[in-house]
Amino acid sequence: MKTYIHHVQYYETDKMGITHHSNYIRWMEEARVDFLEQIGCGYATLEKEGIISPVIGVECDFKTPTTFDDFVEIKCAIEEFKGVKLIIKYTMINQKTNELVLVGKTKHCFVDKNNKPIILKKTFPKLDEKIKELIDKGDHYE
């Protein structure tokens, strides 16, 4: 899979000239959406199947700040999958400096349109199989 690259915009920086911390969560979402699209199970596909995958937790460990015009490489990997709960981990690297920017995680569950938990294996076996395949092969962003 191809790596997701985010180009830091001027409006994403604060008065100190560094990227405001709230943007990194948005970038995780950008990378996650891209990651799911690449494995053939994007959000539009999930929603068409009646599946919603809300974020139920976020962790960010900031290492090195970024600034306007930096290019940030964001790698995703599936850390854990329990059929109802999914944890995706993120590693962000500044392409200009090769410095580690952030390591983080997002935790997700799968629910139907009535917000009732669903077991992915029964409701959308294609995604269940793909996630398990990625875990088995260790295939993530390269």
Provide the annotated active-site residues: 14
User: Residue 12 to residues 17, 56, 61, 112, 118: CA-CA distances in angstroms?
Assistant: 9, 24, 18, 34, 36
- DSSP string covering 5-40, please? EEE--GGGB-TTSBB-THHHHHHHHHHHHHHHHHTT
Residues forming a β-bridge with 23: none
> Residue 87 in contact with residue 77, Cβ under 8 Å?
no
> Residue 119 in contact with residue 83, Cβ under 8 Å?
yes
Q: What letter would DSSP give residue 33?
A: H
Residue type at 106 in one-letter notation: T
